[in-house]
Structure 1
Amino acid sequence: MAGQGNGNTSGGHRSRHDWVDFAKGFCIVAVVTMWVVGEMQGYVNRGEAGWLGYFAVFAKPFRMPDFFLISGLFLSRVIDRPWRHYLDTKVVHYLYFFVLWTLIVVPATWLLGHDTPASATEALTDLAWRLYDPFQMLWFVMMLSVYFVATRLLRRVPVWLLMPAALLLMLFPLQTGIYHVDRFGVYFGYFYAGHVFADRFFALADWARAHRRRAVAIVLVWALINGTLVKLQLTESILATTVLGFAGISAVVVISALVSEQRWAGLLKYLGRTSITVYLGFYLPMIVLVPLLRGSAIGQQHSLVGTLALVGCIGGAVLMAEIARRLGLGFLYERPSWARLAPARSAPASAAAAVPPVADEDERRQPA
């Protein structure tokens, strides 16, 4: 397929792909920031969420587009594998965690006093509905499985035809009332672009490393333009959102390539490698921490409250995963054998250690 990339770069050294981990780490922080700000009851709209609110608004055009694009970067390596293996690693894998964590998070929010159903019938109805209309952040996990199937089915369609069609779906969203259909076009263009233009994004990362001064200058110009347009509220149109989405993705690639080799970048790379674990686990700590902090003596110090909540819910998600594994509850983060369509392929010990269990199982086997 013309223009389709496989994510390989010459040399095959781990450092050449470190920017992917950094980019995912940066985006998971941006996504959690958005949810923390939202839990602070829309303070960002009144300028009362401190630096966290400004960052959430600044990152809005690209935080989820970047996540979806990165999810498609390595797809060309496995897209032609047998259907049984493909469905196991690209569909069942994500649906397992989507269903499991729906059954965990939704009842947990009821126990914490959020929209508690009045009866067992209402509770079962709500849970069933959430398997169709995902609860809060879980829509991302569910839509990944949809995008993987769609891309496999459409892999013979020429890029020059499918990419414009995907962009049109973004610019003219469907409104059928069917959740999966209406949601499909919102981010599919980014996911598909990550798949078919993977080589271009890896080449952009290589260019940034080779031309650091020009890359820094371009990032500064982008930050100024993005920040100005956000400040002037000129990013709400779908066309502007799409353009700024791809511009922001490119900027994140450049920034990640420039700084991913620095020692201080290790934390964000770690969060990138554990991004889905963080994504699944941050919500419950967040809905506990934010009210506690807002009701404390520092409740009016919005930047401090937001910062502590952000650190606390990300740290809480990582801690929950570690405790679960130590208690023999690894099935919360690693798919058991009974939930597989095909036997798991063995991965090198180094690769298995580098990638979290709930990450894409094919991603664990990417050459370092």
Structure 2
Amino acid sequence: MAEKTKSRRNGRIELLRFVFAFIVLLHHSRYLLGDDNCYFLGGSLGVEFFFIVSGYLMMNSVDRIVASKSYNTIPVDKNLANETVSFIKKKIRAVLPQFPIAWFIGLIAVIILNHMTFRQALVEFVQDFWELALLKMTGIFYGGLDGVIWYISSMLICMTILYPLLRKFPHMMRKIWCPLIALMLLGSMCIVDGHPRNPAKIYGFIFKGNLRAFAELCIGIWSFDIVRKIRNVNWTPIAKIIFEIMQLAGYLVAIIYMYYDTPGKYDYFFLMVMTISIMLSFAQVGIMSDIYNNRFCMVLGRFSTAMYFSHIYYAQNLNMILSDSLSKQEKTLIYVACSFVTAFVVEVLALLYKKVSPTIMRGLKAILVDSKNEKDN
């Protein structure tokens, strides 16, 4: 058996992060192969998994603060702004330094694959540099090299609104407002488009992706109390077997749907199925739950972040150099290999950066900051 970890992270969720990130990667093979030959043409629904999980984890963070001993001694308004900023910074740090490293490697790949001149490369860099600010879904910046970063941008925007509301009105938000908001936003997207996908579409003055993120983060928040109730019951082995089958079947039918179908009204049914499976996974009531809490699943979960940030450059540009005579399978294998190798390089460079950055920062501080006068002031 693999070595157990002492991490608070949920091993099954971490493994599923990798699975759904890989499905998104295969979905983007549509740029390389065309829609008719694409693997997982409906794979963009995999992003729903990440939003729901993020909403649950945000509510979990709020609940720990509310339950802490210091909560009743400090007025919630006093430090709410600073606390919200701290929470958002933590979320940004979760994608650092992987995202900027993957972005610069992707930029180099795009320059090479498109045979750009120095001038063209410089223009590309200047045009897309602001993508690193994670502001894409505000509308101030649009385009960029890494189309998948919309997910992080929308998540941060919506969390910045939701977090202070959760802190100030934790019970009202998760019991009343969040489920209502989720239903209203998902319903509006169903009326207009019949599905929640296509995040770059503009609804009046806001990207559809922001509404999608807000609704599904709210689903994750709403599921928090349900998960806690399920977890607190002393279930029999038979019940645990049933729960294991339910969540595995839920993920499986959602994945099959993503493989065969394009966006449509059925998205909402499979979104519900996926939500039920996610709740059971967080409750850890399945008979096999403990098996997933091992180092291998944790490593895959971490690797999924780098993989998510590293693939789109190849999906959109490999055809510049690949021969038309290559089969669908050969092109896909090259695409996946390039994405995985890049993700591995990103992880290695991220680890190196974390080791050397404290030394670099101390050196820069010694050069740029007059510590003697700073103490006197």
TM-score by length of 1: 0.63
Q: Which residue of 1 aligns with 2:339?
A: 313
Report matched runs for 1:348-367 at 5 Å. none
Q: Once the two structures are superposed, what CA deviation does each residue of 1:51-95 show, in whole Å capped at 9, x if it has no partner?
A: xx1xx246443x111111111222235446743243134247528
Q: Which residue of 2 aligns with 1:197?
A: 223
Letter in 2 for 1:309: Y
Asked whether the 8 Å contact 2:101–2:346 carries over to 1, the reply is no
Q: Tell which deviates more after alignment, 94-103 or 181-190.
A: 94-103
Letter in 2 for 1:321: E
Structure 1 residues 249 and 314: alpha-carbon distance in aligned structure 2, compared to 1, 3 A threshold:
farther
Letter in 2 for 1:86: T
Letter in 2 for 1:138: I
* CA distance in structure 1 between the aligned counterparts of 2:324 and 2:271, rounded to whole angstroms: 37
Letter in 2 for 1:320: V
Partner of residue 59 from structure 2, selected from 57, 65, 76: 76
Letter in 2 for 1:147: C
Partner of residue 146 from structure 1, selected from 142, 148, 157: 157
Structure 1 residues 166 and 314: alpha-carbon distance in aligned structure 2, compared to 1, 3 A threshold:
same
Letter in 2 for 1:90: I
* CA distance in structure 2 between the aligned counterparts of 1:236 and 1:285, rounded to whole angstroms: 24
Structure 1 residues 273 and 147: alpha-carbon distance in aligned structure 2, compared to 1, 3 A threshold:
same
Number of aligned pairs?
306
Structure 1 residues 101 and 242: alpha-carbon distance in aligned structure 2, compared to 1, 3 A threshold:
farther
Asked whether the 8 Å contact 2:42–2:258 carries over to 1, the reply is yes
Q: Which residue of 1 aligns with 2:14?
A: 21
By how many angstroms is 1:282 displaced? 3.6
Letter in 2 for 1:236: P
Structure 1 residues 153 and 216: alpha-carbon distance in aligned structure 2, compared to 1, 3 A threshold:
closer
Structure 1 residues 250 and 23: alpha-carbon distance in aligned structure 2, compared to 1, 3 A threshold:
farther
SS of the residue aligned with 2:271?
A: helix
Q: Which residue of 1 aligns with 2:142?
A: 133
Structure 1 residues 92 and 165: alpha-carbon distance in aligned structure 2, compared to 1, 3 A threshold:
same
Q: Which residue of 2 aligns with 1:111?
A: 111
Q: Which residue of 2 aligns with 1:172?
A: 188
**What is the Cα-based RMSD across aligned positions, in Å?**
4.5
By how many angstroms is 1:189 displaced? 1.8
Asked whether the 8 Å contact 2:128–2:143 carries over to 1, the reply is no
Q: Which residue of 2 aligns with 1:41?
A: 33
Structure 1 residues 59 and 34: alpha-carbon distance in aligned structure 2, compared to 1, 3 A threshold:
closer
Structure 1 residues 29 and 254: alpha-carbon distance in aligned structure 2, compared to 1, 3 A threshold:
farther
Q: Once the two structures are superposed, what CA deviation does each residue of 1:307-343 show, in whole Å capped at 9, x if it has no partner?
A: 4532541343123321453377866xxxx89xxxxxx
* CA distance in structure 2 between the aligned counterparts of 1:323 and 1:18, rounded to whole angstroms: 25
Structure 1 residues 109 and 152: alpha-carbon distance in aligned structure 2, compared to 1, 3 A threshold:
same
Q: Once the two structures are superposed, what CA deviation does each residue of 1:224-272 show, in whole Å capped at 9, x if it has no partner?
A: 8657866885x633x4322311312433565796556447986444221
* CA distance in structure 2 between the aligned counterparts of 1:229 and 1:327, rounded to whole angstroms: 40
Report matched runs for 1:54-65 at 5 Å. 56-57=40-41, 59-61=43-45, 63-65=46-48
Structure 1 residues 277 and 252: alpha-carbon distance in aligned structure 2, compared to 1, 3 A threshold:
same
* CA distance in structure 2 between the aligned counterparts of 1:93 and 1:183, rounded to whole angstroms: 18
Q: Tell which deviates more after alignment, 209-218 or 313-322.
A: 209-218
Asked whether the 8 Å contact 1:24–1:70 carries over to 2, the reply is no
* CA distance in structure 1 between the aligned counterparts of 2:115 and 2:130, rounded to whole angstroms: 15
* CA distance in structure 1 between the aligned counterparts of 2:299 and 2:90, rounded to whole angstroms: 25
Report matched runs for 1:1-368 at 5 Å. 14=7, 17-35=10-28, 37-42=29-34, 45-46=35-36, 48-49=37-38, 53=39, 56-57=40-41, 59-61=43-45, 63-79=46-62, 82-91=80-89, 93-94=91-92, 97=96, 100=100, 104=104, 107-108=107-108, 110-114=110-114, 124-128=126-130, 131=136, 132-133=141-142, 135=144, 136-155=147-166, 156=169, 157-158=172-173, 159-173=175-189, 175-178=202-205, 181-201=207-227, 211-215=239-243, 217-218=245-246, 222=250, 226=254, 233=261, 236-237=263-264, 239-251=265-277, 261-262=290-291, 267-284=296-313, 294-295=322-323, 299-300=326-327, 302-303=328-329, 305-307=331-333, 309-326=335-352
Structure 1 residues 120 and 287: alpha-carbon distance in aligned structure 2, compared to 1, 3 A threshold:
closer
* Unmatched runs of 5 consecutive residues or more in structure 1: 1-11, 338-368
Q: Once the two structures are superposed, what CA deviation does each residue of 1:133-157 show, in whole Å capped at 9, x if it has no partner?
A: 3630111221221122111243225
Structure 1 residues 18 and 203: alpha-carbon distance in aligned structure 2, compared to 1, 3 A threshold:
farther
Identity of aligned residues (%): 10
